[in-house]
Amino acid sequence: MVEVDLSGAEIVDAHTHPYRLADLVARSSEGFDTRATFLGEAFSSSSRLDPELWPTADRLTDSTVMGITIVRWLVRHLGCEPTREAVTASRASAIQADAVAYTKGLLDAAGVMAVLADEGYPQPPIPAEEFAGTIGVPVSRVARLEPWILARREGSFDDLVGGVENDATEAASDPNCVAYKSIVAYRTGLDVGDPSPSEAAEAFDRWRVDDWRETREHAKQVRDFLIRRTLAVAEANDRAFHFHCGGGDPDIDLAHASPKGLFPLLVDVQHQPVVLVHSGFPWVEEGAFIASVLPNVYLELSELIPWGWGQVEPALELIVGSVPAAKIMYGSDEAGEPEGFWVAALMARAALQRVLGRLVDRDYVAVDEAQRLGRLILADSCRGLHGLSR
């Protein structure tokens, strides 16, 4: 296979979650590799997983490809003995000595130059400036809709709508806020409707009486109405809008989380940029199709990378083969363990080199064209959409 060398390509991580330096230092390194897996991370983000199942999850890590790989690769990075116990101890020592330097060393080794941080999780939000100090690279804000709804819903419906619009407008006044995001897939589903103001107001009253339960009967019309209002603010302020699109932790409304549910809304707002965070994984075919027929729909690759592992290269072949690379952006979905940045970036670079090499072998693209596509996916598409400087 022809070699496509992306070793010098910079990486911008289009989807991460911030964490506090003090939390990283205080947290035991025991089980860090489990916490970095899809299963392990769900224990910190989901309200439905029973914490008593954590020992079961931790026992599964050494038979999980990602868990094995993290240990193998960290052995080389840390220069320690090739065991899980030795890696855990060496990692703990490095974090206690200088957690920022340890994290920055991981990012430098992977070529990660900057990240976008979804400030909706964890709560209360961690300022981008604080997170940048924790990881040692620039951080741009992605403002989340759902905390605004939670903070504003105790008043009237008009108070809620006005408050959310004010919050969104205020976020846009910060030049470091480069996008908005919704996780409505976790609440009432991606099949966003178009309720009238009166329909949404009536649903709001029912939702309050129902003690704010997240039902599609009451909450959905309110959330759908507010999504469309926030999309309008995003368009007016020249910001992209990100949707969590696809699976997630066990809190997800899995029956209404696939990209096809969002398609009618995407057609309605086709003149403004919308990012399908996670590319719809595991429904990647749907995400790729939508991005291939709507000019302003973009795909972000986290969840697939790193947690799809064995599915990554087949999925990348589909995505890169059908969606313009200028609309594909790398992301890790890192959410607390600094190794998440690193292992996902290393994996993405290697997998993309192999996928692009096969395209060269088939005479679809030349080597220099493949390298240009790789640079777009790893950094330049995200920079272009979000107005980030090098």
Mean pLDDT of 288-298: 98
Mind listing the pLDDT tens digit for each residue in 3-18? 999 999 999 999 999 9
Q: What pLDDT is recorded for position 390?
A: 85
Is the pTM higher than 0.85? The answer reads yes
Tell me, what amino acid is at 239?
R
Please report the pLDDT score of residue 169 as a whole number: 98
pLDDT at 243 over 90: yes
Percent of the chain predicted with pLDDT > 90 = 99
Q: Are 297 and 274 in contact (CB under 8 A)?
A: yes
Tell me the CA distances in angstroms from 13 to 100, 111, 248, one per residue in order.
18, 10, 19
The structure tokens listed for 118 are 């979804």
At 367-380, the pLDDT tens digits run 999 999 999 999 99
Does residue 1 register a pLDDT over 90?
A: no
Give the pair of three-digit tokens for residue 315. Answer: 């999925």
Confidence of residue 347 (pLDDT cuts 50, 70, 90): very high
How far apart are alpha carbons 15 and 13 in whole angstroms? 6
Enumerate residues 6+ apart whose C-beta is below 8 A from 181: 118, 120, 142, 143, 144, 145, 241, 242, 243, 244, 277
* Per-position b or e across 59-93, b if 16+ CB within 10 A of its CB: eebeebebbebbbebbbebbebeeebeebbbbbee
174 confidence band (pLDDT: 50, 70, 90):
very high
pLDDT of residue 290: 98
Does 345 have pLDDT greater than 90? Answer: yes
139-150 pLDDT tens trace: 999 999 999 999
Q: Which pLDDT score, from 0 to 100, does residue 309 have?
A: 86
- Spatial distance between the Cα atoms of 347 and 334, rounded to a whole number of angstroms: 14
Given a cut of 90, whether residue 289 has pLDDT beyond it is yes
Q: For residue 94, what pLDDT is reported?
A: 98
The type of residue at 96 is Q
